[in-house]
Structure 1
Amino acid sequence: MNNVRTLRDKTPDSEKITINLGYVDLGRIDLLVQEGFYANRTDFIRMAIRNQLGTHTEAVSQSIARHTMELGLRDYSRADLEAMQRAGEVLHVKVVGLARIASDVSPELARATIGSLTVLGALQASAAVKAALADRIT
């Protein structure tokens, strides 16, 4: 009996960033963590970022609408790009969030179908596709 299933690779739902903080600010964060207000430094920083983004919700919404950007996750499959190529269309990607170009998309297909790529957040694509589109990424 064969009960082994292949699972999809899990795509991370976050992007790692690095920040530099002054010693005093770091100490104040550590004090709040020690007092039990936050589970750890990361918890504090995530909450601070969410609170700050919450104060700018309207500005972000207006900017997204003004720039006709997609918000959230946008996947581009090989079939999507092949259909664009057959139709003779060029794609101008504008995403706030995560843009993913499928792993089976060749660099040649990406260059033939993607005219520009603006991603505010993260772009997941093969190294070869990223290199092929390097001059089109803004």
Structure 2
Amino acid sequence: MAHTADHPTPAKTPESEKITINLGFVDLGQIELLVQEGFYSNRSDFIRTAIRNQIERHADTLRQIVIRKSVDLGLRHITRDELMTAQAAGQMLDIRVLGLVVIAPDVTPDLARATISALSILGTLHAPAAVKAALADRIT
């Protein structure tokens, strides 16, 4: 199926977020030794593995929190159609996400303010700059 103006090619969502951390010299040296000895392919491999191990260690607690707080896990796309439907129904959305929130580029700042009462993100928000600015006082 060819993509037309009615069916544009969806933007590719990034699969990860780059972060920067500071490590003490001894910790960094120990990581380098493990990489050198072949336990990990590089520093990033070690750090990702350590993070996954900690997340797994706290998996039950995380599941309980997600259920208690009614949080969406993973990727949450917020579309113009979804917001227009909420607006037509007179609803305000309280959106809670652990992961990535993507607000569609065709969502206007006015529509976002009219339909999103709160946006709580433990992760990353990708949205037009004007929409981010319009929701600034509602984002936690």
Instruction: With the length of structure 1 as denominator, give the TM-score of the two structures.
Output: 0.93
In structure 1, which of residues 111, 117, 127 is the aligned counterpart of residue 113 of structure 2?
A: 111
Structure 1 match to 2:88: 86
Aligned pairs (5 A) from 1:1-138:
7-138=9-140
Aligned-residue identity in percent: 59
Aligned residues: 136
RMSD: 1.8
Q: Which runs of 5+ in 1 are unaligned?
A: none
1:7 is displaced (CA, Å) by: 4.9
Distance 2:129 2:36 in 1: 42
After superposition, give the CA deviation of every residue in 1:46-103 in whole Å (9 maximum; x if it has no partner). Answer: 0000001000000000001111111111111001001111111000000111111101
Q: Which runs of 5+ in 2 are unaligned?
A: none
Which amino acid in the other structure matches residue 50 of structure 2? Answer: A
Q: Secondary structure at the match of 1:18?
A: coil
Which amino acid in the other structure matches residue 49 of structure 1? Answer: I
1:8 is displaced (CA, Å) by: 3.7
Distance 2:42 2:89 in 1: 52
Which amino acid in the other structure matches residue 81 of structure 1? Answer: L
Instruction: With the length of structure 2 as denominator, give the TM-score of the two structures.
Output: 0.92
